[in-house]
Amino acid sequence: MSEFSYPYPRPAVSVDSILLSWCDGHLRLLLIQRGRSPFKEQWALPGGFVDADEDIDAAAARELSEETGLRDVALEQWKAYGTPQRDPRTHVITIVYSGMLAWNSQDIIAGDDAKAVRWCPIDQLPKLAFDHADILQSFLMHLQIKIRCLPIGREMLPPEFPLGDLRHIYETILKEKLNANVFAKHIIAMGHLHRAAHHPDHWAFDRDHYLQLAKRGFSLDLDACRA
């Protein structure tokens, strides 16, 4: 611990994670049901307070593991929220992380102060605690921009998948329908997909090309893909 102390009050720091997956035709968000006040019994993003002398990235991974059982999830620091009244206990600044995960890659198990954990369809969410609904809405708006210039889906979909599943992910994020044939033409032209080895009507991501696109970006004409 530092030898310094300060007489004036200062905010606490927490971490929260937005984790997305795809299953049964739905883009899903990982939520925990809170077992303690405030907002006891309500659903929320997994997260909690950063411990003394703890790195915030480590705190995000720890809280996700403690509350959901998920480990070694690739999380990306996204944005901070610090409105003084966002937490009724005290002024809490939260660092929000995001990640994507294949549906069946790990089991989820509620732990720590989480009463339950669930993958919820993004379009059928319960009321969320704190300001988590606003945080999620802001993140989804961010994704609407991101998917125009960076690839998405590899972390969420199985190794081989129908192209319609990838289109449905785009449609869910954009909140609008896309023309199936035009979308297929444009997305295949990006070069990061190839025909699946075991299912002739399925597709698979080309890992190397996908990572190259993630670094350099592209321009997907979603306007042309609209139904």
**pLDDT tens column, 173-196:** 999 999 999 999 999 999 999 999
Write out pLDDT tens, residues 191-200: 999 999 888 8
Cα separation, 35 vs 15, in Å, equals: 18
Specify if 6 maps to a domain.
no
Residue at token pair 């979308």: 183
Please state, in angstroms and as integers, the Cα–Cα distance from residue 190 to each residue in 106, 167, 195, following that order.
30, 14, 14
Amino acid at 189: A
Same domain, 175 and 140: no
Write out pLDDT tens, residues 117-138: 999 999 999 999 999 999 999 9
Specify if 204 maps to a domain.
yes
Same domain, 179 and 137: no
Same domain, 32 and 128: yes
Write out pLDDT tens, residues 101-116: 998 889 999 998 899 9
Same domain, 131 and 51: yes
Same domain, 105 and 183: no
- What residue numbers bound the domain in which 186 lies? 163-225
Cα separation, 63 vs 67, in Å, equals: 6
Q: Is residue 160 within 8 Å of residue 198, measured between CB atoms? A: yes
Same domain, 78 and 171: no
Q: What is the CATH number of the domain that holds 40?
A: 3.90.79.10
Write out pLDDT tens, residues 6-39: 788 889 999 999 999 999 999 999 999 999 999 9
Same domain, 105 and 189: no
Domain count, the chain: 2
Specify if 158 maps to a domain.
no
Please state, in angstroms and as integers, the Cα–Cα distance from residue 134 to each residue in 27, 81, 86, 91, 139, following that order.
18, 10, 11, 17, 9
Write out pLDDT tens, residues 51-90: 999 999 999 999 999 999 999 999 999 999 999 999 999 9
Average pLDDT, the chain: 93
Same domain, 99 and 17: yes
Same domain, 70 and 30: yes
Task: Report yes or no on whether pTM surpasses 0.75.
Answer: yes
* Nearest by Cα to 182 from 123, 131, 126, 225: 225
pLDDT at position 4 over 80: no
First to last CA, the chain: 59
According to the model, what pLDDT value does residue 2 have? Answer: 60
Same domain, 46 and 122: yes
Boundary (domain end) residue, out of 117, 146, 175: 146
Amino acid at 12: A
pLDDT at position 221 over 90: no
According to the model, what pLDDT value does residue 139 have? Answer: 97
